[in-house]
């Protein structure tokens, strides 16, 4: 199994940790995925387009970016694949 994360995925540092873009999705979908990953101790950073007034008010429902630590990218992928297949984790 190749543990290298796709080099074409966007990356950024948040604090001292290298994060990789996991997906962009409507906020309601991203919030659900965030909750599932955090149950498994995977920290998640959601990024909204803060230039929109709705983002400040918390009512923005458009696409957001979901970032996970690069070191946990494959684990996050496996967790969501298991969830999608209906397996207990």
Task: Say what the pTM is.
Answer: 0.79
pLDDT above 90 as % of the chain: 56
Give 45-60 pLDDT, tens digit per residue: 998 876 656 555 667 7
**What is the b/e burial string over 3-24, where b = at least 16 CB atoms within 10 angstroms of the residue's CB?**
eebeeeeeeeeeeeeebbbbee
Query: What are the C-alpha distances in Å from 32 to residues 17, 29, 49, 83?
Result: 23, 5, 19, 12
């Amino acid at each position: 199994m190749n543990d290298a994360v796709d080099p074409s995925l966007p990356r950024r540092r948040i604090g001292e940790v290298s994060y990789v873009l996991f997906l962009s999705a409507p906020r309601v979908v991203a919030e659900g995925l965030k909750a599932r990953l955090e149950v498994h101790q995977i920290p998640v950073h959601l990024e909204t387009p803060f230039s929109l007034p709705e983002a400040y008010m918390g009512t923005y429902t458009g696409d957001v970016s979901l970032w996970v630590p690069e070191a946990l990218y494959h684990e996050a992928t496996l967790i969501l694949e298991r969830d999608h297949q209906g397996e207990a984790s």
